[in-house]
Structure 1
Amino acid sequence: MDTVSVNVATVRSPTSIAGARESTRAFLEGLADPVAAEAADTVVLVVSELVTNALRHGGGTCTLHLTAHPDNIEVAVHDRNPRPPRMRTPDLNGGTGGFGWPMVNRLAHATAVTHRPGVGKTVSALLPR
């Protein structure tokens, strides 16, 4: 199978997170080599977390890019903030988060943060098909 790559969406508001999830499902459903239902759910969850984090911490706008490899799906989210995500103790009482990045790291085969000089960063996760 050839690698399939698509720039799925530029997300500008929290209401667009649902659109990013829908675009991801459409991308996965459109692949010639299908993705198992549980794996697709995991990809959608990771997209939701990375896009939410990018909007919350990355300047209010992000771009989602998906790539299908023979054995993996790569999720890449570009935002304007150069600071990488950080592991922190989840807030169980105040509702300020801390759950997403650790979860993404547990679900993914690999994660990476690539700095883009002058334009922020790209946060990537490689997930099993």
Structure 2
Amino acid sequence: MASELVTNAIRHAPGPCVFDVGWSRAGLDIEVTDSSPVPPRARPGDATGASGGYGWPLVESLSSQLEVRPTEAGGKTIHARIPGTM
């Protein structure tokens, strides 16, 4: 999930990105902040693998909590939680 979120930030945002991760009893929290205000969107998967389309549905299916928040700088932060097993 982390790789997918960071890769998308690098591919689709014009500036730098920031990766943050934290752990609690609730699970593993992953946040990726980038400079694009455009939220992720699901799109049909490309069976040839040429243009993707599988990442966002994967992030959605693995997350127990998923939110996209705008940043003060005009970009966005994506927060995803992978639930803990405690």
Q: Answer whether TM exceeds 0.5 for this pair.
A: yes
Equivalence map 1:37-52=2 (5 Å): 46-52=1-7
What is the aligned-residue identity percentage? 39
**Which structure has the highest helix share of the two?**
1
Q: Letter of the aligned partner of 1:96 in structure 2?
A: S
Shift of 1:99: 0.7
Unaligned runs of 5+ in 1: 1-45
The alignment status of 1:95 with 2:50, answered yes or no, reads yes
Q: Secondary structure at the match of 1:49?
A: helix
Select the structure of larger CA radius of gyration. 1
Q: Structure 2: which 5+ runs fail to align? A: none
**What SS does the corresponding residue of 1:106 show, helix, strand or coil?**
helix
- Residues 1:117 and 1:71: Cα distance change in structure 2 (over 3 Å): closer
After TM superposition, the score normalised by the length of structure 2 is 0.89
Higher RCO (CA < 8 A, seq sep 6+): 2
Partner of 1:84: 39
Stretches (4+) displaced over 6 A: none
**What is the Cα deviation at residue 64 of structure 1?**
0.4
The TM-score normalised by the length of structure 1 is 0.61
Q: CA deviation at 1:55?
A: 0.3
